[in-house]
Chain A
Amino acid sequence: ETGVTQTPRHLVMGMTNKKSLKCEQHLGHNAMYWYKQSAKKPLELMFVYNFKEQTENNSVPSRFSPECPNSSHLFLHLHTLQPEDSALYLCASSQVPGISYNSPLHFGNGTRLTVT
């Protein structure tokens, strides 16, 4: 049990589909993150939410739309994706730096996304 739960674990979608990834953390954290992990590349930070407010959008295409209704839940809405978007999408949480600068990230097990 990692404390950060992601669903679904696997997702196959066509380029015209709309789907959503869900992340839930049970650690009492107040910051949540989406990362993209592609083969042979470093983890790419996509979005950061502190206290439900988006504080970082790392030049992510608009076909990825995040939503953070509260500090425990984070969604990533997907639409009209491209095959190159196939990757492992990781959610993470932490305490917001400033309250605890040294709070490490806690990751979920990820959603393996395949775009056909």
Chain B
Amino acid sequence: AQSVTQLDSQVPVFEEAPVELRCNYSSSVSVYLFWYVQYPNQGLQLLLKYLSGSTLVKGINGFEAEFNKSQTSFHLRKPSVHISDTAEYFCAVRENSGGSNYKLTFGKGTLLTVNP
């Protein structure tokens, strides 16, 4: 069975600083990987996804993530954050094993707080 570990529950940074949110996964088969963002009082919104091909994936709002198969990681990065990036970020994995259900396994989330 797949699992997802987000190593940091909270990450405080100053505005315009770079940020990296870490995500590691475990699976016995190949996977699809996702990052979702949740702003206060809202549902989850897809930030970016890795399906195949280039290991560097670009998403919305200037975020990008890099898939590293050997390290089973999919860390999220942004070179310069804004106050509006304050939100909770969730890493998720789905095994590429066929089947009819879209079973995403989510990490516990990382709360990114951007301070002025």
User: What residues of chain A have their CB less than 8 Å away from a CB belonging to chain B?
Assistant: 2, 4, 6, 31, 33, 40-43, 45, 48, 50, 55-56, 90, 92, 94, 96-98, 101-110
Contact = CB atoms under 8 A, between A and B. Distances in A.
Given A42-B109, A92-B43, 8 more contacts: A6-B43, A40-B108, A42-B107, A48-B101, A50-B100, A50-B101, A55-B100, A56-B103
Contacts of A92: 43-44
B7 interface: no
A6 B101 CA distance: 22
B67 to A, nearest CB: 14
Given A4-B43, A109-B43, A55 B51 contact: no
Interface of B: 4, 32, 34, 36, 41-46, 49, 51, 90, 96, 98-109
Majority-rule SS of B interface residues: loop
A95 B70 CA distance: 31
A109 B41 contact: yes
Nearest to A112: B41
Contacts of A108: 43
A115 to B, nearest CB: 19
B106 A43 contact: yes
Contacts of B108: 40-42
Nearest to B4: A42
Nearest to B88: A37
